[in-house]
Amino acid sequence: MAGPRADEIYFEHTVIGRQVKVAAIDGATGTEVSIVGPASAAPRDLEALALRKLLVRLGRGDGGAGGPGGAAPGGARGGGILA
């Protein structure tokens, strides 16, 4: 069996009541991030958000609408990253 390819991303959906946790895992590095959203949301929308978060974690994303490093608009210092 061949190992994971560098361009493979795995998604795992776990329903928790009226919420769903979506984990995105990079096949090459094993890096994993997760998001939680409403179970009524479209799975592709939740996967897109999880993928964007993963790309930011891997340093391959733009950091969201806040620009480099994901700084909050207006210079607010919340310590988070906009995804």
pTM: 0.71
Sheet with 32-38, side-by-side order of all strands: 9-16, 19-26, 32-38
The pLDDT of residue 68:
47
Secondary structure element (H or E) that encloses residue 48, with its range: helix 43-57
Per-residue model confidence as pLDDT tens digits over 3-57: 666 689 999 999 999 999 999 999 999 999 999 999 999 999 999 999 999 999 9
The pLDDT of residue 67:
46
Contact 61, 81 (CB under 8 A): no
The pLDDT of residue 37:
98
Q: How many CA atoms lie within 13 A of 48 on its CB side?
A: 6
Ranges of each domain in the chain: 9-63
State the Cα–Cα distance between residues 19 and 22, nearest whole angstrom. Answer: 10
